[in-house]
Amino acid sequence: MNSSTHITITISRGWLTTVGATGIGLVLGILYVWSVVKAGIPDAWGWSNADKALPYSIMAIAFSIAMVPAGRLQDRIGPRLIIMIGGFLTGLGCIICGLGGNSLLAYVIGFGIITGTGVGFGYSALTPTAMKWFPPEKTGLIVGIVVSGSGLAPVFLAPISAWALTFFQTTNSQGVIEKGVPATMIVLGLGIWLVVGTLVSLIRTPPLGFSPTPEKQIHSSKPKNIPSADATWKQMLATVQFWLLFCMFFAGSSTGLIFISVASDLGKKTLGTWAFLAVIVLSFGNTGGRLLAGFISDKIGRMATLFAEFVCQGLIVSLLFWLTKSGGGSWPIVLFVVFMIGLNYGSNHTLFPATCKDYYGINNFGFNYGLLFSAFGTAGLIMPWLNGLLQDITGKPDISYIMIICMMAASAILALVSLRMGPPRTL
């Protein structure tokens, strides 16, 4: 086999791995349909807004915690077993919810802990495996493609969930129609098993000694004082840049996680029974942001792209705040706002792993990014629950909006500081 044939085969395998990882990411994006499922929870269950946010919040923190050991394992033993474990746990958690009836504990354990852990395992292995097949100047693009899978999840899972909730609905003893939440969770769990079990066969790691040929150097993306292949987690934590990234990731995740958890509710006033369309529109924005941010950041740099994202997100949330105070807008305006929130939020899931790889290398990426990703989990644990609690107390979302706008302003400043600092520096 000549060298050109070998290169063609390895590139083809790289793209097959990318396709498989994207498809698996789609069903592992079960987090993003919680607002549809939550909206179907009957009043008879007696769950408060904070209760409804709790499984979602627990899932986000379990997801991020699992990323750390799972990332270390995939760095050592490869991705396929880790992905299979992740898919099994993700589906199992959903099925446990369905079997648990109206028990909040079943949803906290099933969806929150078990499904969250499964998503963390699967997610930890998808991006680094695909990145290993491609040169550095394609990092943003490849990361964007892979993570766009989970961004697209609501496009497929939201209508399936909405259909199942109606198809399995029942009438209780008081004659009140209740959505079929338990059966819907079981259907989702079985579907996850089927898709992950099929697509995992496409996942391959590059052959020993394989090295993608770089075409050009990304502007200001490589650290000069830390060899990328040797950057351990201790070296990473000893840089100011990591902690700036952590704070920005926390803030950027907070906005998206809050609005993803209530996306269906945002659309109820103007869309009625078609409120689930808000979730789908959000997912298109989420997916578009992941792809667009990867492409743009490969051209102009990660920090410049992050700065633009934070400014834009702050303006969009300010617009939503104004719409809420003025009694709401027409459905095109509401869907535009939801789309833009998703667009900005989705860019985080491309920009932060790409920056982590740029600064600290690919060899320990799984573990290193798992640590950085704990910012997402911290945001997921605190912010949706806090948002629900504030609304339970005040009856309106004003405080949450003001808090998010301030966080976006602070993050934009941190992005400028990071851009000014340049490559990571030791503390």
* Segment 112-143, tens digit of pLDDT: 999 999 999 999 999 989 998 888 888 889 99
Find tokens 């840049």 and name the residue. 241
What confidence score (pLDDT) does residue 217 get?
Answer: 46
What is residue 422's DSSP assignment? Answer: -
pLDDT digits (tens, 9 = 90+) for 1-41: 455 444 455 568 889 999 999 999 999 988 878 878 888 89
Distances 220 to 68, 142, 354, 421 between C-alpha atoms, Å: 27, 19, 13, 10
Bigger pLDDT: 195 vs 216: 195
DSSP string for residues in 76-90? HH-SHHHHHHHHHHH
- In whole angstroms, give the CA distance from residue 386 to residue 320: 19
Identify the pLDDT of residue 69.
92
pLDDT in tens, 272-311: 656 667 777 887 898 899 999 999 998 999 999 999 999 9
Q: What is the pLDDT of residue 268?
A: 60
| CATH class name, domain 3-207+217-421 | mainly alpha
What pLDDT score does 12 carry? 81
* Tens digits of residue pLDDT in 177-188: 788 899 999 999
103-112, 220-229, 353-362 — which is least confidently predicted?
220-229
Cβ contact 67:356 at 8 Å? no
Q: Which residues pair with 367 in a beta bridge?
A: none
User: Tokens 């990071």 — which residue?
Assistant: 418
Read off the pLDDT band of 225 (50, 70, 90).
very low
SS3 170: strand
Q: What is the mean pLDDT of residues 338-355?
A: 92
Q: Is the pLDDT of residue 145 over 80?
A: yes
Token digits of residue 131: 């990145």
178 sits in which H/E element: strand 177-178
Single pTM value for the model:
0.79
Dist CA 89 CA 38 (whole Å): 21
Q: What is the pLDDT of residue 222?
A: 44
Confidence of residue 327 (pLDDT cuts 50, 70, 90): low
Q: How far is CA 170 from CA 162, 180, 182, in A?
A: 14, 7, 11
Q: State the pLDDT at residue 39.
A: 84
Backbone torsion region of residue 70, taken as left when φ is above 0, otherwise alpha when ψ lies between -120 and 50, otherwise beta: alpha
Write down the pLDDT at residue 227.
44
Identify the weakest region by mean pLDDT among 101-115, 130-144, 319-333. Answer: 319-333
Separation in Å, CA 264 to CA 93, 162, 242? 23, 11, 34
**Residue that the structure tokens 């083809």 belong to:** 12
93 within 8 A of 188, measured Cβ to Cβ: no
Share of the chain above pLDDT 90, in %: 41
Dump pLDDT digits (tens) for 260-283. Answer: 655 555 556 656 656 667 777 887
Largest CA distance in the chain: 75
Q: CB burial class (10 A; 0-12, 13-18, 19+) of residue 101? A: exposed
- Rg over alpha carbons for the chain, rounded to the nearest Å, is 21
Q: Is the pLDDT of residue 317 over 60?
A: yes
Per-residue model confidence (pLDDT) at position 328:
61
Q: Please write the tens of the pLDDT for every residue from 72-97.
A: 898 888 899 999 999 999 999 999 99
**Sequence ranges of the domains in the chain:** 3-207+217-421
Q: What is the pLDDT of residue 248?
A: 97
- Tell me the C-alpha distance between 294 and 144, whole Å: 5
How many angstroms separate the CA atoms of 119 and 419, rounded? 32
> What mean pLDDT, rounded, does the chain reach?
84
380 vs 240, residue with greater confidence? 240
pLDDT score for 329: 64
| Residue 251 CB contacts under 8 Å (≥ 6 apart), including other chains | 310, 379, 407, 408, 410, 411
Question: CA-CA distances (angstroms) from residue 332 to 133, 163, 278, 329, 342?
Answer: 41, 24, 10, 8, 15
Burial 318-331 (b: 16+ CB within 10 A, else e): ebbbebbeeeebeb
Look at 362 and 372; give whichever has higher pLDDT. Answer: 372
Q: Predicted confidence band at 383 (pLDDT cuts at 50, 70, 90)?
A: confident
